[in-house]
Structure 1
Amino acid sequence: MSAKGQDYHQRLTDFMVEHVFPAEHVYDQYRLEAGPDDHTVPPVVEELKKLARDRGLWNLFLPSESGLTNLEYAPLAELTGWSMELAPEATNCAAPDTGNMETLHLFATEEQRTQWLEPLLNGEIRSAFAMTEPAVASSDARNIETTMLRDGGDYVINGRKWWTSGANDPRCKILIVMGRTNPDAASHQQQSMILVPLDTPGVTILRSLPVFGWQDQHGHAEIVFDNVRVPASNLLGEEGGGFAIAQARLGPGRIHHCMRAIGVAERALALMVDRVNKRIAFGKPLAEQGVVQQQVALSRNEIDQARLLCHKAAWVIDQHGNKAARNEVAMIKAVAPQMACNVIDRAIQVHGGAGVTDDTPLARLYGWHRAMRLFDGPDEVHMRAIARAELGREKDALATAACRQSGTAVTS
């Protein structure tokens, strides 16, 4: 880490130990008493936000705000992953706001930035991103059916979205909606993105979708847009630019999820090691059982491998931009959630029955990271992109010579 990165890392570690971990029980108790259908933020979150901001641990994800590179931010995002429900939001580095703030930073007009980006950067409101639809395979965004048709000085929006994470939170005030503005254009120029205030007439939240039975505090909303009318000035960028904006938004967003997933896996491994050192089975600690040792070692290998790949992707973004890093981002997005699931699953196994209850965070962590293999593009889409890049790669001199030699050996 750079000297700046080391300083942030130490201060964030102290903040996690002194304030975030002790607040987890308070947060969980509030949520338990409120019930799954109450999406009000527990007051302890706002207390943590103030503490983090006072310590300069705020908007770390955005280089223009923090001065941190993606590579410097990676270990910090990993730290917040140790307490994924509290620490990212406490530092104003929680999805989907991070991706939305990046989008507004890159594509919004000055008026849009003043109205929406500034309060988001200040942690005064929250936002959501409405892209996925229940009726189509949204992993191919060309399938999206929501229409956003120009009518004079307005756009009129009709359609149904789901997995609009964050929209159930009472603090959510703005949606970035992706829809079809020109069905006759080329396939990658039919979509646009537009800003829709959540209180616009015709916007109806039907429900919050649970993840493996768990209701997130911010919610994962299913939303109907029924003749929703917003000014044309709410359009982000140019009409037909939705795909380009989505790629710019999803690149950093995907890698931020992966950074946090590494922190989650580290916490799962820490819980696993603590458990096996204390639990006695067949006359000796689980830590002395060969099969358990193998699971611990495999977890350490997988975490460190994923971290190095994640840092490489962050470095490529810093050096060459999001577009140049698309293959590295696809690789880590396919690797990190699976790695986290593997490590969490092993930790659940050594905890026995306790591992599948809410007495430990493991079941909740597993559910979220299993879902992570679907959102921001399912594993299969990323693997397809990686394979296409590899199959289309031009052979260098070394590969050409080696393949020629191998062919000669076979024919002779």
Structure 2
Amino acid sequence: MGTGDKTKVLILADSPLPALRQGAMGRGAGQGATWLPPLANAFAKHGDLDITWAALGEPGTEAADEKRENQRFIIRPHIKAARDTLLGYALARHRLRKIVAEVQPQVVHCWGSERFYPSVLRGLDVPSVFSIQGNLTHYAEIGGLTDIWFWRRQWRYEGRWVPDAAVLACESPWSRELALHYWPGSDVRVIEWGVHPSFYEVDWQPQFDRPYFLFSGGLEWRKGLDLLFDALALSPDRKWTLKLAGEGPLREELEARQLPGVEWLGNLKWDELKREMSGALALIMPTRADTGPSVVKEARVMGLPVLGSTNGGLRDYIVHGVNGLHIDPLTPGQIAAAMQEVATASPDRLRDLGKQRLASDRTYFHPERAASAFRDLYLELVGK
């Protein structure tokens, strides 16, 4: 139970510890769940919480048990995720329950239906929170999941796990609307995940002499990359470049189209990504579904305008004509028109598009705001 006046919380998630040890460098450096390290740092300021982070790693993962201020970080090796999926996560559930019994928390918080952590929710005798990273049920409905057995099983698990949580935490109003559509009657809260503080230090300085737009994310159908390339084909004489940061199953097909003015950057570490973001005219995100794309939040805290669809959390982050443009309806023609509008805008107009709402965006996406919101939720669940 709680230590003194502290509320004891167990967070089951991919561990932020490696990024805390080495410094956060992003997905291009092999660090997943990039929003968790800044959240852990922000939790350190809340001395009324006693937090244990626990993760199960792939075979060969180095075990860890490390204490940092008011937080403990546990990492224990596990079997391969694909094998455990076939077993219905029976082994993961067994090992996670042993951690629950060891820690004896007052609140259990599980992150992400892409992993096995929510499998422990059923039968807990303490309140629980389930942070849903991506709404797999919706992605599956629109055909946005890779058609392999793992994802077909995983989105079905999501529907079984959600009812077991006392509270479902979503990172955007758009995500909350979906959650209530699929699981009506659930207690769904919106708690935005913060942006790493290093993005606040980046100055946006668009390169007007070598103009380019930037896409960052998985190169896949759900992200609307096929529509983006159809839009490029509508503008064969354009004077700007499209840069793509990321990898994914559509790359080979899109490269084969051999459209001019396209640069493939691959997966970038954060220092490289920040450099590309700082010089872009705008971030382009023609996604078909995205609960709350981190790169959009990162763009906005540095003042980079965003051109994006209304099919995701970015709908709520972007005010049309103020800090970006909505692409609605999501068609190649609308994408091409939005990019042309920005590419032909005066430098003053473009700078205004970046500066407007910047102060409020920087406040809204700060990790300390996320940590405070989760703290308040934990205290509410234990009756404090």
Work out which of the two has the higher radius of gyration on C-alpha atoms and give 1 or 2: 1
* TM-score w.r.t. length of structure 2: 0.30
- Structure with more contact order per residue of length (Cα contacts < 8 Å, sep ≥ 6): 2
Task: Using structure 1 for the length normalisation, give the TM-score.
Answer: 0.29
